[in-house]
Chain A
Amino acid sequence: MTSVLLSAAHVTRRFGAFTAVDDVSMRVQPGEVVGLLGANGAGKTTLIRMLLGLIAVTSGRVDLLGGPPDRERRRRLGYVPQGLGLYGDLTVRENLSFSARAYGTAEPALPPGLAGQAGVLVRELPLGAQRQVAFLAALAHSPDVLVLDEPTSGVDALARAALWDTIRAQAERGAGVLVTTHYMQEAQQCDRLLLMSDGRLVGEGSEADIIGSTTAVAVSTGDWAQAFAALNAAGAPVMLAGRAIRVANADPAELARVLSAAGIEASLRPVPATIEERMLMLSRQAKAS
């Protein structure tokens, strides 16, 4: 087995004058779950589509299982796209038969959660159940590489926990997993993270590596909504974590001045920054440039 399952080397993709992915290099190794983060429009899906050989690179090189992502290598790949890639007008059983035949593997058995649903049209299933079917279809042939584009978007907490169970089980049996998410709690479940912004790879490694030099100040006050409004009106990069107000890369003295001018009593203390705050600073930089 190669030690790198999936990689990009200086990959760029342009659409006309627009550069969707700009000189990105990354890799996924056996047994690891790599989280790909970034705002909507950062280039995550375009990068994935190049890694899978679904669209061509403008420049650079993509390797899947030791070579270009051709049909033969894609047989050892499992992919769950954002849109799930199921046929809504086919039943659960028909969808699973179709993908099993395409991959030349045995049809997977239905888990207890889907028992009795074999004959139901996929479009008539709730979203969480549809995702389960898409996972089953993608995993039936025990792929070496698993690529998941926002696998848990719109899924409730219980179903999300179950999907992550499946993801970790795949890594434990040696597959390499690349997963995009907007849920930062999920990012923390990954072994390694990649952060994209405006088509470029701007951070890589652990959560701490991604956060880098970003700092944050927590604002404690009786009326968080009022303080949030005042800081927001002053143009501060305000974030919320539950009901806690946080401001990224801020000068506490300046925040204190804004709050006292608005007649709000609050206490300020520096706290460790989050990935969201790093993303907020990146988006403000992009807007300013």
Chain B
Amino acid sequence: MTYSVRSATVRFGRTVALDDVTIEVPAGSIVAVVGGDGAGKSTLLRALAGEVALDAGQVEAPPRQHLGYLPASAGSWAALTVTQNIDFVAGIYGLAGDELAARRAELLDRASLTPAAGRLAAQLSGGMRRKLGFVMAIVHQPALLILDEPSTGVDPVSRIDLWRLASEAAASGAAVLMSTTYLDEAERAAHLVVLDRGRVLVQGSYDQVRASFAGVVTQADQPVRAEWAWRRGRVLHEYWPAGDPSAGSAVAPDLEDIVIALSLARRHEVPS
């Protein structure tokens, strides 16, 4: 089974949030959406989740009871305990009794949340709260799992817990669509989609994205053209779309370089 958004356009007033975007999310794999503020990541996820209506295009998604969605904000009730949060959502899907107890215990264990089961969600650290939201999104074993920035503000160890939960969901057959600002995380996805101001800049496996990247990225202490340069640690990287650097030494661009370079190129083509 493959879920999809095809030729989707979404407008909010005069703002075009999505502009003719097509993505596919096959069962058993993770698709990652990356892009900046206002790129349209959340709108794309919400379109697939049926939370926002399209002005044009089609959505193919499972019926609501087979969909799990973790929104970018909270995803749990602050005044309920971890257990109460899980039981409340599980109840909506008709899980009860021994079946619920077993599922809850399994999920708490996988998310390393068992010691926090009786704690109020308000008293959890940021990383624990995201894991709770994740557990609530997968409690009913959805066929399609949509995660909006599950790992933002989460420490690296909890981030690995979250990634493990997502890959376990995919390994057991779910189609997983997630957005992230951590590009090392996105490299791991079977398929990645780079969005910029409502449009797909590039999509494919990490290897395909790297192979299709044109131009040269150089490294230097001082950029030749400041508007094409960005900071990487102590040095600056600079993009030469035509592949004709006049200074600096060429580096092998990673996903972060590629995303920045493509965003800069679009800024020069289509000023905001």
Contact = CB atoms under 8 A, between A and B. Distances in A.
Nearest to A82: B153
A276 B168 contact: no
A210 B164 CA distance: 25
B157 A154 contact: no
Given A128-B36, A161-B232, A182 B125 contact: no
Interface string A157-201: 111011011001000000000000011110011000000000000
Most buried by A among B112, B163, B184: B184
B128 A157 contact: no
B14 interface: no
B21 interface: no
A96 B208 CA distance: 45
Contact of A126 (B38, B171, B206): B38
A228 B167 CA distance: 9
B184 A241 contact: yes
A155 B125 contact: no
Interface in A213-228: 225, 228
Contacts of A232: 164
Given A127-B37, A164-B231, A242-B188, A157 B259 contact: yes
A263 to B, nearest CB: 15
Given A128-B36, A182-B153, A232-B164, A162 B125 contact: no
Given A154-B181, A276-B157, A126 B37 contact: yes
Contact of A243 (B36, B126, B206, B232): B206
A156 B127 contact: no
B164 A161 contact: no
B260 to A, nearest CB: 5
A256 interface: no
Contacts of B233: 185, 188-189
Given A150-B153, A153-B152, A161-B260, 20 more contacts: A39-B127, A41-B127, A82-B153, A128-B36, A154-B149, A154-B153, A155-B181, A156-B35, A156-B259, A157-B260, A158-B259, A158-B263, A158-B264, A161-B232, A182-B153, A225-B171, A240-B160, A241-B184, A243-B187, A276-B157
Interface of B: 35-39, 112, 125-128, 149, 152-160, 163-164, 167-168, 170-171, 181-184, 187-188, 206, 230-234, 256, 259-260, 263-264
27 contacts: A39-B155, A39-B158, A40-B154, A40-B158, A128-B36, A153-B152, A154-B153, A155-B181, A156-B35, A156-B181, A156-B263, A157-B256, A158-B230, A158-B259, A158-B264, A162-B231, A182-B155, A225-B171, A232-B164, A240-B160, A241-B184, A242-B188, A242-B206, A279-B157, A280-B156, A280-B160, A283-B157
